[in-house]
Amino acid sequence: MENLKTVPRILLLDLAPLTFALSFLLAGCSDSRPAEVRAAPRPAVNSPSATAPPSDRQPFFVASGPLIVEHQVDVAAQRDGVVAEVHAEPGLLVRAGQLLAQLDDRQASANLDAARAHTRSTAADLKNWEAEAKVLDADAERARKMWEAQLITKEQFDHARYKAESDQWDVKRVQEMLVNAQQTERSLELELEKTRIRAPFSGIVARRYVRAGQQVNRGDRLFWVTETSPLRVQFTLPERFVGKIQRGQFLEVTSSDNGDAKFTAKVLEISPVVDPSSSTIEVLAQLVGPAKDLRPGMTTSIRVPDQP
């Protein structure tokens, strides 16, 4: 009996640690929280249907430049003088050679008259010397015949011959004097012409810088004359247009001062070199067709095809 009672005690004692371990494990499992699992980020994959952003380049490149003309100059005084008359005002259409102003020409006219008188006098002297030379030539020829006939001595013949030759040199001297007088006359004619201020080409008087009675010096500006046509536009393009824009190509031109009006220009010149400081080329085009509302100096916009 005593042995039977002892067996369960031993079993209970042997099972106690096992029971304690199991209860501890069960308690630990009941208090634990599920672990958080984070998914790894997916590598970015370029979609084959994705489109590239649109290019900033437009089908037309818009350049800007001023309207110019071939002839546009300041008319300056070519000599000192006093303005006697003014014949042109701003806005006047003028022809080539038309008188714009007149300087006091009294002294120049007097000098020219004196030179012309001297030329006439020299010309008369020349005729006198030429007539005398003919007489001496005749005398020399007669003396030669008389010497051959032994009617005069050799010394008399030589005297007549040398006198005729001397007169020929006098004729040449007076001829040179006449040439000099004519050149002086021509020079004074040019000085007189400088007192007449004329338009160098057909166009319009844009500005007047002088008034009657004003003293001017050589080189002073008197008028500004400009052509009104043909109008040209000068502009620059990026160097990528080398080989793309051609002579004879037609371009569209607009001006902010003329609203929606459009004009056409034909390319005349293209710079053969690229400006290294700006990486641009210079282009010159001339407007074709009517452009009555445009004036030199206006700023315009030029549309240039910019195809890749």
Give the CATH number, domain containing residue 284: 2.40.30.170
Distance of CA 53 to the CA centre of its chain: 41
248: left (phi over 0), alpha (psi -120 to 50) or beta: left
Answer yes or no: are the C-beta atoms of 69 and 230 closer than 8 Å: yes
In a domain, 165, yes or no: yes
Please tell me the distance from the alpha carbon of residue 181 to that of residue 248, in angstroms, as a whole number. Answer: 55
Residue 272 structure tokens: 């053969």
Confidence (pLDDT) at 58:
57
Residue 51 domain-assigned (yes or no) = no
Q: What is the pLDDT of residue 109?
A: 96
Residue 177 and residue 115 in one domain: yes
Question: Would the pTM count as exceeding 0.85?
Answer: no
Residues of the domain holding 270 = 60-71+228-305
Assess contact for 227 and 94: CB atoms under 8 A. no
As for how many domains the chain has, the answer is 2
Within a domain: residue 86?
A: no
Q: Is 93 domain-assigned?
A: no
Check residue 84 and report its DSSP letter: E
Strand boundaries in 173-307, DSSP class E: 196-198, 203-208, 215-216, 221-226, 232-238, 250-255, 262-270, 280-288, 299-305
Domain-located, residue 76:
no
Q: How far apart are the first and last CA of the chain?
A: 113
Q: What is the DSSP letter of 270?
A: E
Do 233 and 176 share a structural domain? no
Mark whether 190 and 109 lie in a shared domain: yes
In a domain, 257, yes or no: yes
Is 18 contained in some domain? Answer: no
Half-sphere exposure of 94 (CA within 13 A, CB side): 26
> Which residue carries 């300087």 as its tokens?
103
In a domain, 48, yes or no: no
How far apart CA 117 and CA 184 sit, in angstroms, is 11
Q: Which of 194, 216, 249 is the last residue of a domain?
A: 194
Show the tokens assigned to 79: 């000599």
Residue where a domain stops, chosen among 148, 171, 194: 194
For the chain (308 residues), the mean pLDDT of every run of 10, in chain order, is: 43 44 43 41 37 52 92 94 96 95 96 96 94 90 89 88 90 95 96 96 95 96 93 93 92 82 92 93 92 85 86
What's the rounded Cα separation, in Å, for the pair 233 and 298? 9
pLDDT given at position 193: 96
